[in-house]
């Protein structure tokens, strides 16, 4: 993922109101679920996430394949 897209996309998902968890899919195939917006810092293509239990996870734009922002499909208003 390019640096500008990485920064802007992570900041968008981090700052959604109300916050909704999202998933980072890494190039390796690993997944990281961000469960709290304030646990994520992003700057110049690098991010630091503090996972539950205080475990720090550092990653950069080159290691992220894509971001899944909506984990639950939206229901139609016709339902």
Q: Domain spans of the chain? A: 3-68
**What is the per-residue pLDDT across 4-25, written as a single tens digit (0 to 9) for each?**
999 999 999 999 999 999 999 9
Residues of the chain short of pLDDT 50, as ranges, are: 79
CATH of 3-68, one of 3.50.50.60, 3.10.180.10, 3.90.550.10, 2.30.30.100: 2.30.30.100
Rounded to two decimals, the pTM is: 0.83
Q: So what's the pLDDT on residue 65?
A: 96
Q: So what's the pLDDT on residue 71?
A: 61
Nearest to 50 by CA among 62, 37, 61, 68: 37
Q: So what's the pLDDT on residue 70?
A: 76
C-alpha–C-alpha distance, residues 28 and 35, integer Å: 21
Place of tokens 């990653």: 59
Q: So what's the pLDDT on residue 49?
A: 97
């Amino acid at each position: 993922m390019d640096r500008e897209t990485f920064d802007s996309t992570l900041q968008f998902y981090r700052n959604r109101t109300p916050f909704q968890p999202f998933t980072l899919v890494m190039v390796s195939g690993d997944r990281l679920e961000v469960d709290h917006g304030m646990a994520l810092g992003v700057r110049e293509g690098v991010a630091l996430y503090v996972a539950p239990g205080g475990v720090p996870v550092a990653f950069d734009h080159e290691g992220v394949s894509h971001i899944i922002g909506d984990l639950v499909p939206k229901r139609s208003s016709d339902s």
